[in-house]
Amino acid sequence: MTEPPVTKLDIRGCGIALRRAGSGRPLLLLHGAADVGQWLPCMDEIAARHDVIVPEHPGFGASDTPAWLDTIPDLANFYLDLIDQLDLTDIDLVGHDLGGWIAAELAVRDQRRLASLTLVGAAGIHVPGVAQTDAFLRTDEQRIRDHFHDPARADAMVQRVLRPETEDLNLKNQTTTARLTWQPRGYDPHLAKWLHRIRLPTLLVWGANDKLLPPAYAAAWQKLIPSAHLVVIPDCGHLPHVEQPAAFVAALDNFFARMRVAA
């Protein structure tokens, strides 16, 4: 697994960290409620077929925290500016968790440069009556373990993330997440009513054992986005691309193959 160098990109006065690798049609990956961290396990394989672009959101990781950052729609509009500045077209947009929420907000606003949308364990909507784990009420270690179905993978992530040298970075990510999602907790009450505007080939990828956003959320997204296709990955928690990378890549490849046939 080869991690590409981190470059700094200035978008309308906000400096962000960005990783980019591969060639082909652009795949813009929007990460969840943490920084990008290590180059994700499946990214090398995806980069063999795509120009993979992975920015760190404003307020996270090595990116700046701009004064204008107040809401998830702010990030959606920011990424529309990034797409314009990089002059990207025919984009496969992929978002996980918080990044899925941003991706959905972006697609509702402007789909002209997008080829497809993939939401992976996406936050952003509320399903009444479905029990879920509130990450803000958990310790740092509990929060990490809640993301996984496999305890061994959780052990490895705890060891990687909870180190003295990462404390400041973890606090930065948690502070920005709270600023953006604290109230109402983890969703936008206005987003669901506009998801019908998404007229793109859409894939939903969910872990069957997701504790943070259980599979009932996947079913709700599928009802709200016309013709969305759902893949539920067994023995998997909230991070399909980390816990079950082979199944995640297969879901993407099958989705893109169906798109080529339909075209």
Whether residue 64 is contained in a domain is answered as yes
Whether residue 209 is contained in a domain is answered as yes
Whether pTM > 0.85 for this model: the answer is yes
Whether residue 188 is contained in a domain is answered as yes
Running along the chain, 263 residues long, what does each successive block of 10 average in pLDDT?
A: 86 96 96 77 90 96 96 98 98 97 98 98 97 91 95 93 91 95 94 97 98 97 96 97 95 95 81
Whether residue 147 is contained in a domain is answered as yes
Whether residue 252 is contained in a domain is answered as yes
Rounded to whole angstroms, the Cα distance separating 234 from 254 reads 17
The CATH code of the domain that includes 95 is 3.40.50.1820
Whether residue 52 is contained in a domain is answered as yes
Domain with 177, as residue range(s), is 7-262
Interval 142-185: pLDDT, tens: 999 999 999 999 999 999 889 999 899 999 999 999 999 999 99
Looking at residue 42, its pLDDT comes to 86
Peptide bond into 184 cis (omega under 30): yes
Whether residue 177 is contained in a domain is answered as yes
Interval 61-87: pLDDT, tens: 999 999 999 999 999 999 999 999 999
8 A C-beta contact, residue 106 and residue 41: no
Number of domains in the chain: 1
Whether residue 2 is contained in a domain is answered as no
Residue that is written with structure tokens 């990462």 in the block: 166
Give the torsion sign (CA, 259, 236, 134, 41).
negative
Rounded to whole angstroms, the Cα distance separating 187 from 126 reads 6
Q: How many CB atoms lie within 10 A of CB 74?
A: 16
Q: How many CB atoms lie within 10 A of CB 158?
A: 17
Looking at residue 38, its pLDDT comes to 57
8 A C-beta contact, residue 258 and residue 231: no
Looking at residue 260, its pLDDT comes to 87
